[in-house]
Amino acid sequence: MPRESRGSRMLGGKRGVLLSTASTIVFFGLIAFFVLRAPGTPLIRQRFFDWRHMKQAFPSVASGFLLNIKIMLISEVLILALALTLAIIRSLPGPVAFPFRLVAIAYVDLFRGIPLILVLFLIGFGVPALSLPGISSYDVVTYGIVSLVLVYSAYVAEVYRAGIESIHESQAAAARSLGLSRWKALRFVVLPQAIRRVIPPLLNDFIGLQKDTALVSVIGPIEAARQAENYGSQTFNFAGYVVAAFLFVLMTIPLARFVDYLIARDRRRRQAGAIL
């Protein structure tokens, strides 16, 4: 009996591999067939996928991409800090904290509602126009970072808040019962557990952030997308865009797989915990 069931499982496995191979070939074959048959295909190949142009565009696009990475890294650190502050303010109890909670809620509502590109225009063109000494004289990259931080902090604050609220009230009660202050209970007991729980959705938001660094180019910084655009306007060839797209994908895939890994690990841990 066990032999038979094992045999049939293997047959199923073999059949599965055959079927998936066949369906993959047919699926991509059909797409290739229709795409390659499209009347514009030779032109597209020449305009977007010309190897010589891609090589030629690469150095400037790649150097622009370094700016994307820089914007992203600085923004991420600031977002993590500002968003955590917002989430903590929003979870403050008591009537005295009401105005603070109100400000945090209004902030999140506002910046989740305004499209990033509008925030970029408002900050990137509006703040310099104010001619305020001290804050109106930064460079466009700074205004871009500020815009990203303002918008993404609103999202990430909500992720944090969901994490904080997912930690059972009994954990805080246990900490308080030992004499820990509200703040120390939050810092040592609630937040470490909450943050661990929201790392996958946080990283997901950062994948979005990585891509949105390209939008900063609308107020001036010469990053990868802008470099690609420049290359295109000089040579009438769009290979630079493909190069830029490739670089962005290259950067997000490891992060995406890392998120998958974390989620799978959490699931395994929970199952192990359930068995215990």
Partner 1 sequence: MNREAAAGLANGEAIRLIGVHKSFGKLRVLKGIDLAVAPHEVICLIGASGSGKSTMLRCVNLLEPIDAGRIVVDGEEITSRGVNVNRIRRHIGIVFQAFNLFPHMTVLRNITLAPREVLGAGREQAEADAGELLDRFGLLDKKDEYPDRLSGGQQQRVAIVRALAMNPDIMLLDEVTSALDPELVAEVLNVIRGLAESGMTMVIATHEMGFARDIADRVCFLDAGVILEQGPPRQIFTAPNHERTRQFLQRIIDAGRL
Question: Which residues bind to partner 1, rule: CB under 8 A?
Answer: 170-171, 173-181, 184, 188-189, 192-193, 196, 272-273, 276
Measured from the CB atom, the residue of 4 and 169 that comes closer to partner 1 is 169
**Which residue type does 34 have?**
F
Alpha helices in the chain (DSSP H): 2-37, 41-48, 51-90, 98-113, 116-121, 127-130, 140-166, 169-177, 182-185, 191-212, 224-235, 239-275
Measured from the CB atom, the residue of 45 and 196 that comes closer to partner 1 is 196
Distance of CA 115 to the CA centre of its chain: 16
Measured from the CB atom, the residue of 160 and 241 that comes closer to partner 1 is 160
Measured from the CB atom, the residue of 79 and 164 that comes closer to partner 1 is 164
Q: How many CA atoms lie within 13 A of 187 on its CB side?
A: 6
Closest distance to partner 1 from the beta carbon of 262 (Å): 15
Burial class (CB in 10 A: 0-12, 13-18, 19+), 143: buried
Measured from the CB atom, the residue of 254 and 273 that comes closer to partner 1 is 273
92's CB contacts (< 8 A; 6+ apart) are 100, 101
Closest distance to partner 1 from the beta carbon of 276 (Å): 6
Closest distance to partner 1 from the beta carbon of 270 (Å): 10
Closest distance to partner 1 from the beta carbon of 180 (Å): 6
Measured from the CB atom, the residue of 24 and 177 that comes closer to partner 1 is 177
Burial class (CB in 10 A: 0-12, 13-18, 19+), 170: exposed
Closest distance to partner 1 from the beta carbon of 88 (Å): 18
Structure tokens at 230: 């420049």
CA distance 10 to 205: 41
Closest distance to partner 1 from the beta carbon of 188 (Å): 6
